[in-house]
Amino acid sequence: GAGVSQSPSNKVTEKGKDVELRCDPISGHTALYWYRQSLGQGLEFLIYFQGNSAPDKSGLPSDRFSAERTGGSVSTLTIQRTQQEDSAVYLCASSPRAGQGDSPLHFGNGTRLTVT
Amino acid sequence: AQKITQTQPGMFVQEKEAVTLDCTYDTSDPSYGLFWYKQPSSGEMIFLIYQGSYDQQNATEGRYSLNFQKARKSANLVISASQLGDSAMYFCAMREALSSGGSYIPTFGRGTSLIVHP
């Protein structure tokens, strides 16, 4: 498809387990963002990738969160030792290039993570 | 301090009427962009409209227009002729140039829930 693809769409996990969330951006988009949306809240920035530059990890809430982007394309967000407060919808977005300030973000449908 | 403030948690409008969703922002950056997104109950975020800080004209896209008042730092979304399908959450976002260190990471408001009544 032409849009941003995220998998899985839903994930239920037990507290303390690790989870991996996947994002496949639009082909050719060099900028990739991860956001978290808790129930009734706005979007909380987590991490940003731009091409081959070092990622901006300033939004990651703890060292249990990490992300990588392989080959400038697919990204994986990993949450280790999940906690109940990690329950949220994790949204991935891409844009053609970050230096183009008027480029809107194109979002995936998100992964709904529930930690029991 | 909040970068983006959306003071209306919920709004109601009659079908076919116009509605304004408020957004104020805080930046000292001379170059920035403002975006509005729609999030229906299905969850996807849909880009609606963009306004650049140097744009002289208010942005318009079909039934959407942006009432940009730079001196007041407001960028309100106006939806004309509301339709039932407009019922959704609406998010205002800002992208700064210099303050973000060139990374252009958008900051989002908390959103406004719009319900369109038949």
pLDDT in tens, B101-117: 666 789 999 999 999 99
Question: What sign results for the dihedral spanned by CA atoms A85, A106, B99, B4?
Answer: negative
d(CA A76, CA A87): 17
d(CA B33, CA B38): 17
d(CA A113, CA A74): 19
pLDDT tens digits along B41-69: 988 899 999 999 999 999 999 999 999 99
B107 contacts A45? CB cut-off 8 A: yes
Taking alpha carbons only, the member of A76, A48, A52 closest to residue A60 is A48
Q: Which residues face A6 on adjacent strands?
A: A23
Q: In the prediction, which pLDDT does B2 show?
A: 76
The nearest CA of chain B is from the CA of A82 a distance in Å of 23
Average pLDDT of the residues in B66-74: 96
Taking alpha carbons only, the member of B10, B91, B101, B104 closest to residue B48 is B91
A102 contacts B52? CB cut-off 8 A: yes
d(CA B95, CA B33): 5
Pick the residue with more confidence: A2 or A67?
Answer: A67
10 Å CB burial of residue B68 (0-12, 13-18, 19+) is: buried
Average pLDDT of the residues in B27-38: 92
Q: Which residues of A touch B44 (CB under 8 A)?
A: 107-110
